[in-house]
């Protein structure tokens, strides 16, 4: 009897411990009004910016709790993977961060998002956002997202001292860019720093090259209307290949910010990056117009490569009211002008006053309100996600091996399998 | 009485049978069924398309690339761990002082999770400040510096080296046990017949290690098919797909691209490959009883 | 002749030592890097010891990994417990109470040991979410218990095969039934088997990454392995924090290995050679 009692006792203890554990450290969500929000802004200015919005929200709605689940890694790539699994498991948050455009599509196709056209109408937002941007927030003429911040992608950041020292003029054509690169190379300075460790910067560079061949061409490309033997596509590939000898040889080992670091240290003169690079330089003591400045990638004047963060409303969202209040907040002038100056992005609303923005942001805002807006491929807005993956892979291949034929056939297949069927 | 004798034991294992039945065999079957559908995207779609996905797979160069990488991984990993494990086992069989200490050090990587191993080795392979390039610099061999895991041509081999580090303690232990289970008389008899140490190892002991070698081959091959954790953390299959193996491709296709049916086809092929390895092994070792 | 032997011994120890260095270097560089501040990590070689010991990396890593550590405990302990208990019962039955079809069932269990988890990932995910268990400890407990049964069953069966059947017969003569024999005869002898299986299985469950990645997401449930990988993502350039995190994550299993290593080894051996 002794051993048996002992055994039972052990078993019982085990069960008790276990139940206690799972009871008090359960992963269960409670039912009170609580905004469950998932995003990937986990560090630096981004984190500060969203925290500022959270304070604003708490001040306005003191009775609603905020349960944030920040998921870092890969500029949102990890969060996207988790988000899909979560939605698929029938466990949506109240709202989540998503790039506008095609990044929303998997959820739209999966019937997982609420149509928020009524919200847009209620808030009268139809007049306050650029028409092109509104289109990116729609599927079948219905609205599914609310934009909160805009970044511009087709900007070249350069080390002012290097340019001054070597008497370089800012290039406005692609050939001028090549000759600037040649001069820099002869001086032993890396002309263009790129960090392809995470693949997308290389793809980002290529999409801007596509734009430089022509904004219409770019629009055709993302609509799947370009045949791979189109001479314009060849032109884009050739332009990229021309740049290869001017790009740092260790690009595969660097991240985008390490590439910015090359410009910072003077080892490189230029880098192409979205304007979140501003945060990188500013936090390291550099100032716009003094140490670094920007110019549009040659031949993309008048084109604004849009990378837009937005939030959406999942179906069956817990605390739906809290989520709607959040969307109202981020779509408002007050909310956008609180968030964007801290984050280093610009407000999507064209009626937002611009006093609290710095000079670079003011210039970007001015451009935003007049340029042609095009969505970014590399950042998930212009094309379905699986196409983006292949696009990133093949452009990474191209910069590594320079095999034009392989890239062309790969992109062709990607267009057939991952783009056209899902448009 | 006799009937209860038959049923009661069965009842004891019934919970396990149910769990294994559902989670292993039910899941495998269901996965196969999914692979025969057109399911793509977040909403399940069970339209039947037959073997379409499989046909597409074998025309897909990304799949072929992953298959190729998997085979390279299997071959070199098995070669590496067997060689290193055997060498270590033979060395340690020489009445080494502090044998326990050596064994513990060689074996401890087995207790480390793959995520940790990957994190550590990615740092070691870092081209700017990692250990390998630093040591080359210190030895004035700077010209041999490499991009290691960022270089698509050798990334897979860098990973294989790290895995050999992780697993060769295991093979060493298995071989050592095998070597030491050879009866002393056999070895003594060989010595009497004039066999030197080299011959006694190659002609007597190693052939006796066949069961050990078999089980190592099987375990490592299955590992190479399952290997996801390490490669995912080390670079998610990059650079340029040079380290992408089937397990990685399957995960990406399902959980990043939402092509569930296509991914289920990859998963089925993985399963068939595993069965092709395991069934012969179980058959051979069954006979040995 | 003595001289010849000496040279051979020297070479032997030299080779062993070289291998030793090969095995230790990764841990050594991890340790040195984890104790340096970021500036030193970027400028000094990883081989060099830190100038002054900087504990900030551990502080940062520990802050991120504290909750995941508890999470891992919360599912690893129950999962190990369940799969080992079931394994023991199964091993007992398959070893001593063979019935018609029991060998076939055992074989089917064995195949389960070699299962690549990718082959069941999507259905597993569907099962877990339809039970409403996504992102809960139960998801991992259920999963690890189910997939742990084959190997624990094998380990216990091999062990019980070595218990002479006469003991069972003696028990029957004394009037004990199946459970009586188990609790009176088998269980008391199972100490080493439990030690070996618990340590082996706990290490497996603790070290898992794939299931944690697919079945959980929130910080409240995420295992330590997944948290470490996320650390790698968010502190991409902070090698010292990554290394500190790596050491923290592997500490429990390394401690188990150091103090109870012989059981671990037995588990490895017993699992690899089929009975």
Q: Of the candidates C125, C217, C236, which has its C-beta nearest A82's C-beta? A: C217
Predicted pLDDT of residue C3? 54
Structure letter (DSSP) for residue A93? -
Residues of chain B with pLDDT under 50: 1, 288-289
How far is it, in rounded angstroms, from Cα C118 to Cα C224?
A: 21
Per mean pLDDT, which of A1-15, A21-35, A304-318 is the most reliable?
A304-318
End-to-end CA gap in chain B: 32
Three-state SS across B142-185? HHHCCCHHHCCCCHHHHHHHHHHHHHHHHHHHHHHHHHHCCCHH
Domain ranges in chain C are: 2-43, 56-272
pTM of the entire predicted model: 0.84
Predicted pLDDT of residue C132? 87
Q: Is the pLDDT of residue A1 over 50?
A: no
Q: Of the candidates B219, B263, B286, which has its C-beta nearest C122's C-beta? A: B263
| CA–CA–CA angle B65, B71, B73 (5° rounding) | 100
Predicted pLDDT of residue A24? 44
Contact B225, B246 (CB under 8 A): yes
Residue numbers of B between 56 and 95 with CB closer than 8 Å to C: 88, 91-92, 94
Q: What does each C-alpha distance from A377 to A345, A374, B85, B106 come to in angstroms?
A: 19, 9, 49, 48
Phi and psi (nearest 5°) for A358?
Answer: -80, 175
Q: Is C29 strand, coil or helix?
A: helix
How far is it, in rounded angstroms, from Cα B86 to Cα A242?
A: 52
- Confidence class of residue A326 from pLDDT cuts 50, 70 and 90? very high
Predicted pLDDT of residue A218? 94
- Confidence class of residue A28 from pLDDT cuts 50, 70 and 90? very low
Hey, are the CB atoms on B256 and A109 less than 8 Å from each other? no
Residue of C nearest to A11 (CA): C81
A72 close to C (CB below 8 A): yes
How far is it, in rounded angstroms, from Cα B275 to Cα C115?
A: 8
- Confidence class of residue A321 from pLDDT cuts 50, 70 and 90? very high
Tell me the nearest-neighbour CA distance from B198 into chain A, angstroms.
46
- Confidence class of residue A271 from pLDDT cuts 50, 70 and 90? very high
Predicted pLDDT of residue A25? 45
Phi and psi (nearest 5°) for A250?
Answer: -95, 30
Residues sharing a CB contact under 8 Å with residue B31, sequence separation 6 or more, in sequence order:
B264, B267, B268, B271, C119, C120, C121, C122, C123
C27 close to B (CB below 8 A): yes
Q: How many CB contacts within 8 angstroms connect chain B with chain C? A: 271
Predicted pLDDT of residue B143? 76
Tell me the nearest-neighbour CA distance from C206 into chain B, angstroms.
8
Choose among A188, A184, A192: nearest CA to A208.
A192
Hey, are the CB atoms on B239 and A106 less than 8 Å from each other? no
Q: Is the pLDDT of residue A144 over 90?
A: yes
Token pair in block for residue C57? 């990396």
Predicted pLDDT of residue A75? 66
Predicted pLDDT of residue A290? 93
Chain B residues touching A249 at Cβ < 8 A = none
Q: Which of A179-193, A332-346, B211-225, C116-130 has the lowest mean pLDDT?
A: B211-225
Contact A278, A363 (CB under 8 A): no
- Give the side-chain half-sphere CA count within 13 A for C12: 18
User: For A275-293, how does the pLDDT look when each residue is reduced to its tens digit (9 = 90+)?
Assistant: 889 888 888 889 999 999 9
Tell me the nearest-neighbour CA distance from A126 into chain C, angstroms.
36
Predicted pLDDT of residue A97? 94
C221 close to A (CB below 8 A): yes
**Superfamily grouping for domain A36-151+307-365:** Periplasmic binding protein-like II (3.40.190.10)
Q: How many CB contacts within 8 angstroms connect chain A with chain C? A: 81
Q: Is A8 exposed, middle or buried (0-12, 13-18, 19+ CB in 10 A)?
A: exposed
B262 close to C (CB below 8 A): no
Mean pLDDT for each 10-residue chunk of chain C (275 residues)?
69 91 92 87 82 89 91 94 94 88 90 90 91 91 95 92 87 84 87 89 91 88 90 76 92 88 78 48
A118 close to B (CB below 8 A): no
Q: Which CATH number fits domain C56-272: 3.40.50.620, 1.10.3720.10, 3.40.50.300, 3.40.50.1220?
A: 1.10.3720.10
Token pair in block for residue C180? 């009586």
How far is it, in rounded angstroms, from Cα C186 to Cα A296?
A: 78
Hey, are the CB atoms on C146 and B24 less than 8 Å from each other? yes
How far is it, in rounded angstroms, from Cα C205 to Cα C76?
A: 6
Tell me the nearest-neighbour CA distance from B93 into chain C, angstroms.
11
Helix ranges, A156-302 (H):
160-165, 174-186, 200-213, 215-222, 231-244, 256-265, 277-282
Q: Which long-range contacts (CB under 8 A, 24 or more apart) does A109-114 make?
A: A109/A422, A109/B41, A109/B42, A109/B43, A110/B41, A110/B42, A110/B43, A111/A315, A111/B42, A111/B43, A112/A87, A112/A314, A112/A315, A112/B42, A113/A144, A113/A312, A113/A313, A113/A314, A113/A315, A114/A144, A114/A313, A114/A314, A114/A315, A114/A317
Its sign, for the CA torsion C43, C49, C55, C60, is: positive
The chain-wide mean pLDDT, for chain C, equals 87
Chain A residues touching C226 at Cβ < 8 A = none
Contact A132, A373 (CB under 8 A): yes
Predicted pLDDT of residue A16? 58
**Superfamily grouping for domain B60-284:** MetI-like (1.10.3720.10)
Mutate to test the interface with B, among A195, A386, A416 (most CBs of B within 10 A): A386
Phi and psi (nearest 5°) for A295?
Answer: -145, 155
Predicted pLDDT of residue B285? 78
| Chains contacting C (3 or more CB pairs within 8 Å) | A, B
Could you name the CATH architecture of A155-305+377-422? 3-Layer(aba) Sandwich (3.40)
| Chains contacting A (3 or more CB pairs within 8 Å) | B, C
Mutate to test the interface with B, among A91, A199, A250, A253 (most CBs of B within 10 A): A253
Q: A172 vs B61, which has greater pLDDT?
A: A172
Please give the distance of CA B118 from its chain centroid, rounded to a whole number: 15
Domain ranges in chain A are: 36-151+307-365, 155-305+377-422
C47 close to B (CB below 8 A): yes
User: For A217-229, how does the pLDDT look when each residue is reduced to its tens digit (9 = 90+)?
Assistant: 999 999 988 888 8
The chain-wide mean pLDDT, for chain A, equals 88
Q: A324 vs B186, which has greater pLDDT?
A: A324
Q: Is A403 strand, coil or helix?
A: coil
Greatest Cα-to-Cα distance within chain C, rounded to the nearest angstrom: 76
Which H or E run includes A296? strand A292-296
Q: Of the candidates A7, A27, A258, which has its C-beta nearest C221's C-beta? A: A27
Locus of tokens 């040995």: B288
Q: Which strand ranges, in their side-by-side order, compose the sheet holding A155-159?
A: A190-192, A268-273, A155-159, A292-296
Contact B188, B102 (CB under 8 A): no
């Amino acid at each position: 009897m002794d051993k048996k009692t002992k055994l039972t006792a052990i078993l019982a203890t085990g069960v008790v411990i276990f139940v206690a554990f799972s009871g008090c450290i359960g992963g269960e969500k409670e039912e009170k009004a609580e905004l469950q929000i998932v995003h990937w802004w986990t560090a630096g200015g981004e984190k500060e910016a969203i925290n500022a919005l959270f304070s604003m929200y708490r001040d306005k709605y003191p009775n609603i709790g905020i349960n944030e689940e920040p998921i870092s890694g890969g500029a949102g790539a990890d969060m996207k993977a988790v988000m899909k699994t979560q939605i698929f498991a029938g466990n949506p948050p109240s709202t989540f961060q998503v790039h506008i455009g095609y990044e929303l599509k998997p959820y739209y196709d999966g019937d997982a998002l609420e149509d928020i056209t009524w919200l847009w109408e209620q808030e009268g937002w139809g007049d306050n956002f650029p028409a092109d941007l509104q289109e990116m927030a729609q599927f079948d003429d219905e609205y599914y997202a609310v934009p909160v911040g805009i970044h511009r992608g087709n900007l070249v950041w350069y080390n002012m001292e290097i340019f001054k020292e070597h008497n370089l003029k800012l290039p406005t054509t692609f050939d001028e860019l090549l000759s600037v690169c040649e001069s820099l190379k002869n001086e032993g300075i890396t002309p263009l720093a790129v960090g392809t460790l995470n693949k997308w910067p290389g793809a980002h560079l290529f999409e801007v090259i596509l734009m430089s061949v022509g904004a219409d061409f770019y629009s055709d490309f993302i609509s799947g209307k370009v045949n791979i033997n189109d001479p314009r596509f060849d032109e884009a590939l050739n332009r990229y290949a021309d740049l290869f000898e001017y790009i740092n040889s260790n690009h595969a080992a660097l991240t985008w910010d390490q590439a910015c670091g090359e410009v910072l240290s003077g080892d490189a003169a230029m880098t192409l990056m979205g304007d979140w690079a501003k945060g990188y330089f500013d936090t390291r003591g550099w100032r716009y117009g003094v140490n670094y400045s920007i110019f549009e990638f040659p031949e993309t004047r008048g084109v604004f490569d849009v990378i837009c963060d937005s939030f959406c409303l999942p179906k069956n969202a817990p605390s739906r009211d809290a989520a709607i209040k959040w969307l109202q907040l981020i779509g408002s002038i007050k909310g956008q002008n609180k968030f964007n100056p801290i984050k280093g992005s610009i407000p999507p609303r064209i009626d937002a006053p611009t006093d609290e923005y710095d000079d670079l942001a003011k210039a970007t805002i001015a451009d935003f309100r007049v340029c042609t807006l095009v969505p970014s491929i590399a950042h998930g807005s212009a094309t379905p996600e699986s196409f983006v993956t292949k696009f990133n892979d093949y452009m990474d291949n191209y910069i590594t091996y320079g095999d034009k034929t392989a890239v062309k056939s790969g992109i062709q297949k990607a267009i057939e399998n991952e783009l056209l069927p899902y448009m | 009485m006799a009937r209860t004798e038959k049923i009661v034991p069965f009842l004891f294992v019934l919970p396990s049978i149910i769990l294994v039945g559902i989670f292993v065999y039910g899941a495998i079957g269901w996965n196969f069924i999914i692979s025969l559908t057109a399911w793509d995207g977040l909403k399940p779609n069970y339209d039947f398309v037959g073997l379409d996905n499989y046909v597409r797979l074998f025309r897909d160069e990304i799949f072929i690339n992953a298959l190729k990488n998997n085979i390279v991984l299997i071959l070199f990993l098995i070669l590496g761990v067997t060689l290193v494990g055997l060498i270590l086992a033979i060395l340690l069989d020489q009445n080494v002082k502090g044998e326990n200490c050596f064994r513990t050090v060689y074996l401890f990587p087995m207790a480390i999770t793959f995520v940790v191993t990957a994190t550590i080795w990615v740092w070691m392979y870092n081209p700017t400040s990692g250990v390998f390039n630093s040591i080359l610099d210190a030895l004035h061999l700077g010209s041999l510096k490499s991009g290691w895991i960022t270089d698509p041509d050798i990334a897979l081999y860098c990973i294989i080296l790290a895995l050999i580090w992780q697993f060769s303690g295991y093979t060493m232990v298995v071989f050592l046990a095998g070597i030491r289970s050879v009866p002393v008389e056999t070895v003594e008899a060989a010595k009497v017949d004039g066999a030197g140490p080299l011959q006694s190892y190659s002609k007597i002991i190693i052939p006796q290690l066949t069961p050990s070698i078999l089980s190592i081959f099987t375990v490592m091959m299955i590992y190479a098919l399952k290997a996801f954790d390490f490669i995912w953390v080390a670079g998610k299959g990059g650079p340029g797909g040079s380290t992408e193996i089937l397990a990685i491709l399957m995960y990406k296709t399902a959980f990043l691209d939402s092509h569930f049916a296509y991914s289920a086809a990859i998963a089925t092929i993985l399963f068939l490959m595993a069965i092709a390895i395991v069934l012969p092994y179980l058959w051979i070792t069954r006979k040995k009883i | 002749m003595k001289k010849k032997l000496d040279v051979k011994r020297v070479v032997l120890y030299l080779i062993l030592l070289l291998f030793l260095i090969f095995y230790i270097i990764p841990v050594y560089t991890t340790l040195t890097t984890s104790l340096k501040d970021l500036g030193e990590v970027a400028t000094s070689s990883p081989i060099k010891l830190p100038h002054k010991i900087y504990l900030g990396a551990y502080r940062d890593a520990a802050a991120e990994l504290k909750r995941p550590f508890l999470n891992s405990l919360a599912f690893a302990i129950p999962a190990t417990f369940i799969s080992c208990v079931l394994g023991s019962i199964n091993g007992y039955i398959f070893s001593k109470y063979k019935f018609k079809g029991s060998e076939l069932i055992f074989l089917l269990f064995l195949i389960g040991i070699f299962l690549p988890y990718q082959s069941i990932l999507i259905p597993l995910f569907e099962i877990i979410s339809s039970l409403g268990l996504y992102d809960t400890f139960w998801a991992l407990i259920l999963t690890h218990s189910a997939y742990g049964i084959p190997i624990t069953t094998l380990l216990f069966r091999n062990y019980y095969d070595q218990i002479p059947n006469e003991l069972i017969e003696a028990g029957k003569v004394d009037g004990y039934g199946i459970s009586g024999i188990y609790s009176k005869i088998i269980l008391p002898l199972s100490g080493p088997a439990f030690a070996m299986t618990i340590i082996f299985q706990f290490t497996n469950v603790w070290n898992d990454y794939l299931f944690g990645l697919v079945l959980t997401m929130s910080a409240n449930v995420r295992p330590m392995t997944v948290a470490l990988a996320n650390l790698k993502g968010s502190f991409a350039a902070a090698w010292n924090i990554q290394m500190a995190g790596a050491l923290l994550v592997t500490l429990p299993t390394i401690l188990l290995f150091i103090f109870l290593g012989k059981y671990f080894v037995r588990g490895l051996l017993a699992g690899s050679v089929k009975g």
